[in-house]
Structure 1
């Protein structure tokens, strides 16, 4: 990676940093090269594993942040090598008592923190929601927990939000999950495998439920069936030639429990990266289990539209659709 303006390496999280005192918190990445007007970056983080990250490889990955945007008016940072997983907190001026855990996408190769993280978190905070953007570990970077690694971080994050609910004026029951693309797979894995033990408890927070109050996988990677899977996500999650059993085990549509939370599903039918069939299969599986599900399909939108790329298209209404649906669930 070069040293030009598009490739900024801003952090190294090696073993010495991991071993810092439990009270230390990892700062957010350096600010985007041009901060949106009146929309500053957050300053508070919550480390998931202050006593040591589980399942660490002998050599920890080195965290890097790449600025991918060529537009001087906004940033588009992508993070790799996350060795100290954490949540970045966006606090509203007037909390409505609800929280949303956001898992950005990036094909399990990186975590896109602006387009599918910070931008949505700002939108939510402006409407009273406390938003937590999750910097989750990537499964292809040597963690011995392999395909479970992102889910481990997501379960832990949900429990920590509930454990600290009073600090943020949050109702611990009203904690939702929202994820985009491969982060949608993290979200859907959490909403279907919330009760599956994937790590040993480390403190009192781990006695709390990891079940989201409701879940919103947005243009999500869902199925590991090679006929419709996002090939890169499938390879990084499961390897080159996973067995049919492994494909099914990591396909949320194949493992929906009867007590799964209500779901909001959204996809564009012209998505050439993650086929819309991923969302259709998830909807069918939820319906089969009689889990409430709201589904919105748009003719145009492509993939990875988030908020910014939806502007000027019919799909730009999707956040308001989600909010209206969220109210109907009792989230807020």
Structure 2
């Protein structure tokens, strides 16, 4: 038998394959209150002729509804075949933009808790926000462990090259990532100039370097025991060489060209050890990169906005906002 909830999910998943704007409809609610910002109505496909290096059989996009009852919306998407960004436009733009990369252990994209929630919060404060639906490395793309980074590079370039259209300043573009999305963000902040895909249009002549980067409880190391085992296996395979681990450990790639970074982690994180952020911080300091680090006694993993309520980690968005102002953004 198929209950109503699974039938609804099946209908939603089927709708994802129909058209761009139906692919990942934003939640109508956050908890019991409607968000102050309207749902995004714009979707930007990253690759005009389809994503490069596609496998012989494209993955099928599936939406998982993980919320129960009246809980805060919590959907996850996997099988991304058409990488894209959804746009949250503010009522009064402040000239700054953010490219947001949700986490999900490289197995899925946690759309609501690490994407749409913070996008609405930022848009309510004047930011133009682009939530990135990046491809997952376990789906057979030719770029392998660089597939998500290629989408992040392309997304940042499209944001910057569309500055006039969106009323933003091309030198006020932030990148933000959570958990495995924090690894994508760290990759972007440290390997933004690495040529990992063939240019497709004029946008690819624009720099992919974010002006600032925010890494929240981010996966960083790919070497055990510090690495998050699930992310490591999906990104690099079951038995990566030490050289491959190092190549994809973001702290090992920090240089003086890395943008200023804002790091957030909870000491009681049992999924991604806080030492991931500490290693990245140490590398930033060694390279002379400005870095602000906030470690909270409690918060666990995956707290985003809604799951941080009532915990010390709940203050991180305000701290980020203040830090961005000091950097000339926001």
SS in structure 2 of the partner of residue 128 of structure 1: coil
SS in structure 2 of the partner of residue 8 of structure 1: helix
Distance 1:70-1:165 versus aligned 2 partners, 3 A rule: same
Could you say which residue in structure 2 is the equivalent of 1:281?
Answer: 279
The alpha-carbon deviation at position 38 of structure 1 amounts to 4.0
1:136-178 per-residue CA deviation (whole Å, 9 max, x = no partner) reads: 0000011111100000000000000011111110101111000
The alpha-carbon deviation at position 118 of structure 1 amounts to 0.2
Could you say which residue in structure 2 is the equivalent of 1:218?
Answer: 216
Kept in 2, the 8 Å contact 1:13–1:62? The answer is no
Could you say which residue in structure 1 is the equivalent of 2:321?
Answer: 323
Could you say which residue in structure 1 is the equivalent of 2:9?
Answer: 8
Could you say which residue in structure 2 is the equivalent of 1:249?
Answer: 247
Distance 1:269-1:60 versus aligned 2 partners, 3 A rule: same
Kept in 2, the 8 Å contact 1:75–1:114? The answer is yes
Could you say which residue in structure 2 is the equivalent of 1:195?
Answer: 193
Kept in 2, the 8 Å contact 1:98–1:129? The answer is yes
Could you say which residue in structure 2 is the equivalent of 1:172?
Answer: 170
Q: Within 5 Å, which residues of 2 pair with 1:127-276?
A: 127-276=125-274
TM-score (norm 2): 0.94
Q: Does 1:62 align with 2:60?
A: yes
Whole-Å Cα distance in 2 between the matches of residues 3 and 146 of structure 1? 37
1:175-230 per-residue CA deviation (whole Å, 9 max, x = no partner) reads: 10000000000000000000100100000000000000000010000000111110
Whole-Å Cα distance in 1 between the matches of residues 115 and 253 of structure 2? 27
The alpha-carbon deviation at position 13 of structure 1 amounts to 9.1
Whole-Å Cα distance in 2 between the matches of residues 260 and 170 of structure 1? 22
The alpha-carbon deviation at position 61 of structure 1 amounts to 0.3
The alpha-carbon deviation at position 43 of structure 1 amounts to 1.4
Whole-Å Cα distance in 2 between the matches of residues 124 and 272 of structure 1? 28
Whole-Å Cα distance in 2 between the matches of residues 105 and 315 of structure 1? 17
Kept in 2, the 8 Å contact 1:13–1:83? The answer is no
Residues matched between the structures, number: 324
Could you say which residue in structure 2 is the equivalent of 1:27?
Answer: 22
Ranges in structure 2 where 5+ consecutive residues have no aligned partner: none
Could you say which residue in structure 2 is the equivalent of 1:95?
Answer: 93
SS in structure 1 of the partner of residue 284 of structure 2: helix
Q: Within 5 Å, which residues of 2 pair with 1:64-79?
A: 64-79=62-77
SS in structure 2 of the partner of residue 100 of structure 1: strand
RMSD: 1.8
Kept in 2, the 8 Å contact 1:103–1:134? The answer is yes
Whole-Å Cα distance in 1 between the matches of residues 91 and 47 of structure 2? 28
Kept in 2, the 8 Å contact 1:28–1:42? The answer is no
The alpha-carbon deviation at position 11 of structure 1 amounts to 3.5
Whole-Å Cα distance in 2 between the matches of residues 255 and 300 of structure 1? 29
SS in structure 2 of the partner of residue 124 of structure 1: helix
1:15-68 per-residue CA deviation (whole Å, 9 max, x = no partner) reads: x97xxxxxx744342453756414443111100012121010011000011110
Kept in 2, the 8 Å contact 1:13–1:84? The answer is no
